Amino acid sequence: MAARAVPFALAALLAVAAGCSDDAATTAPTRPTGEAPPATTAPPPTEPAAGPTVVARNPYRNPVLDADFPDPSVLRAPDGWYYAYATQGGDGVDYANIQVARSRDLVRWERLADALPEKPAWAADTHFWAPSAVRRDDGRYVLFFAAAPSDAFDPDDPPLCLALATSDSPQGPFEPAPEPMHCGSGSDIDLHVFADPADGRLIGTWGAGGNIVARPVADDLSGFEPDAPEVLLLQGWTSPVHRPYEHGIEGPFIVHRDGWYYLWYSGDRCCENPPHYAAMVARSRDVLGPYRRLPPRRKGGGAVVLGDGERFLGPGHNSVVRDARGRDWIVYHAVDSRRPLLGGGGIRRVLLIDPIAYRDGWPVVDGPSQGRRLGPWTRRPAQGPG
């Protein structure tokens, strides 16, 4: 496909894709996150104040958000905040169709009100999964999520469609589109939109029937390009080869680093106690593949980058964020073995972060970490004399 001009307002998305450092001023959040803090209605986003800044980091200890916050996806907005979106839930706060929290430093999080308070009519009786958000060319925000149509709901195996909603603010409220964006022959979930730094193309990747697929997205983020075919990136459920953690794969997230496209993905049983789930990676020289999986680092380990720890189990469904000094961080969920269940008996997945290193061209994560560590480098206003 021929190269084309990149819409200016998608620069933030391209900056993440190409690995640009965080260069907006940040300050510490007003309140550190404790055990299941109440949701709040935050003030409207504002641009960071101009003036001298310094690069600093705060210590962290996992979980950075000790509440059920599954399938996290992170967006850094021009107001200097990181916004994290998560699957429907309400561990200790008002139940939300789409959960959202924000942080200045990825360490201390403030939970906000429901990002999607009004359900779309076609999915009025169902749940909402795996959201992600992108800033559009006109400054508005598009929230992608998955839901099951009410008229086709099967409680044992609900078919899922991809959908979208829009808002003037990254924290919402988002207004859902009247119809789903895409309904395939089975379940479609976990849409992530990646801006290819090579030519500005927007590529949507998602989990489709236990495999990872991709398709170009329209410049205005209103849906997929109508004439563009769907491309199979990785086989999981349909693969004739049995691989650890790949009996059904999901949660794709692409980043571009040093000429490689890294496709992060997860599988395969996230939501049981104990889980059987891990974060994996494959890489390619082209955004649409072919992708080669990480060679096993241990016998039977598959393409796993991040697996079970002593305390945190089933890590995965991650985003990747680059800090102010150019280091990548993985933001992900895991089951805390000290408190694995919600009050109603469901699996409780908390929010964690850890740094990413690269060795021989492949990502390495020393985690899930438990002890006190130094967190990401972020910019904040410099303190004046006295």
Q: Is 51 a residue whose pLDDT tops 90?
A: no
Tell me the domain boundaries of the chain.
8-31+45-381
Question: What value does the mean pLDDT take over residues 301-314?
Answer: 94
Question: What value does the mean pLDDT take over residues 369-381?
Answer: 92
For position 186, what pLDDT does the model report? 78
What 3 state SS string does 196-228 have? CCCCCCEEEEEEECCEEEEEEECCCCCCECCCC
CA distance 133 to 114: 14
In this predicted structure, which of 51-60, 240-249, 363-372 has the lowest mean pLDDT? 51-60
Is the peptide bond preceding residue 173 cis, with omega within 30 degrees of 0?
yes
Question: What value does the mean pLDDT take over residues 275-303?
Answer: 91
pTM, two decimal places: 0.86
For position 373, what pLDDT does the model report? 98
CA 236 to chain centre: 20
Write the burial class of residue 129 (CB in 10 Å: 0-12 exposed, 13-18 middle, 19+ buried). buried
For position 155, what pLDDT does the model report? 61
Q: How confident is the prediction for the chain on average, in pLDDT? A: 86
In this predicted structure, which of 25-34, 190-199, 207-216, 263-272 has the lowest mean pLDDT? 25-34
CA distances from 158 to 41, 108, 152 (A): 32, 35, 8
Where is pLDDT greater, at 18 or 82?
82
Tell me which fold the domain 8-31+45-381 belongs to.
Tachylectin-2; Chain A (2.115.10)
Name the pLDDT band for 53 (thresholds 50, 70, 90).
confident
For position 263, what pLDDT does the model report? 98
Per-residue DSSP letter, 123:
G
Residue-wise pLDDT tens digits, 102-145 = 999 999 999 999 999 999 999 998 889 999 999 998 999 999 99
For position 13, what pLDDT does the model report? 52
Neighbours of 65 (CB within 10 A): 29
For position 153, what pLDDT does the model report? 60
With a pLDDT cut of 70, the percent of the chain lying above it is 83
Name the pLDDT band for 299 (thresholds 50, 70, 90).
low
Name the pLDDT band for 157 (thresholds 50, 70, 90).
low
Question: What value does the mean pLDDT take over residues 158-182?
Answer: 95
CA distance 359 to 355: 13
Name the pLDDT band for 25 (thresholds 50, 70, 90).
very low
First CA to last CA distance, the chain: 57
What 3 state SS string does 135-198 have? ECCCCCEEEEEEECCHHHCCCCCCCCEEEEEEECCCCCCCEECCCCCECCCCCEEEEEEEECCC
For position 23, what pLDDT does the model report? 33
CA distance 268 to 209: 12
Name the pLDDT band for 300 (thresholds 50, 70, 90).
low
Name the pLDDT band for 52 (thresholds 50, 70, 90).
low
Check if the beta carbon of residue 191 is closer than 8 Å to that of residue 144: yes
Question: What value does the mean pLDDT take over residues 157-181?
Answer: 94
Where is pLDDT greater, at 18 or 218?
218
Neighbours of 197 (CB within 10 A): 19
